[in-house]
Amino acid sequence: MSSNDGNNTNRIISEASRIRRDRENTYRERALKLFPWICAHCGREFSGKRLRELTVHHKDHNHNYNPPDGSNWELLCIYCHDNEHSRDQVADAYDDAPPDKSSDNDSVDKPLAGLADLLKDKLSHK
């Protein structure tokens, strides 16, 4: 083996080690070290190849806020994570909607409002 091949091999090993260290320092890798591999919503457990289905959800939705204690993270399966973000999108849509005019107290349905009077009439006819 020539010295050039040895240098290439060392460079490749060094680069692979750096990539591994960088990956281990990502918030996902840190979260997987901090928390049990269980979806915080549905309770399913993950391991092996299925571990890739477990995602990190940022509780405050700020992907740049990654405290070392993991207080802004929770592990969610891909299905619960998708559901969580869908609910937020629906809530945001309702926040932008104009107020519902039927929410006035005068227009609220009161289906049993006259029941006492009806029963009083029935009882007085007996």
Q: For 16-63, write each residue's pLDDT tens digit.
A: 988 877 765 788 989 999 999 999 999 999 999 999 999 999 999 888
Residue 77 pLDDT exceeds 70? yes
Asked if residue 57 lies in contact with residue 75, where contact means CB atoms within 8 angstroms, the answer is yes
| Cα distance between residue 96 and residue 61, in whole Å | 19
Supply the pLDDT for residue 99: 61
| Cα distance between residue 22 and residue 15, in whole Å | 11
What percentage of residues in the chain have a pLDDT greater than 70? 79
Give 69's pLDDT tier (boundaries 50, 70, 90): very high
One-letter amino acid of 29: E
Supply the mean pLDDT for the chain: 82
Asked if residue 77 lies in contact with residue 39, where contact means CB atoms within 8 angstroms, the answer is yes
Phi-psi region of 61 (alpha: psi -120 to 50; beta: other; left: phi over 0): left
**Which alpha helices (DSSP H) does 25-77 contain, by range?**
27-34
| Cα distance between residue 126 and residue 114, in whole Å | 20
> What pTM value is reported for the model?
0.56
Q: Among all chains, which residue has been given the structure tokens 């680069």?
A: 15
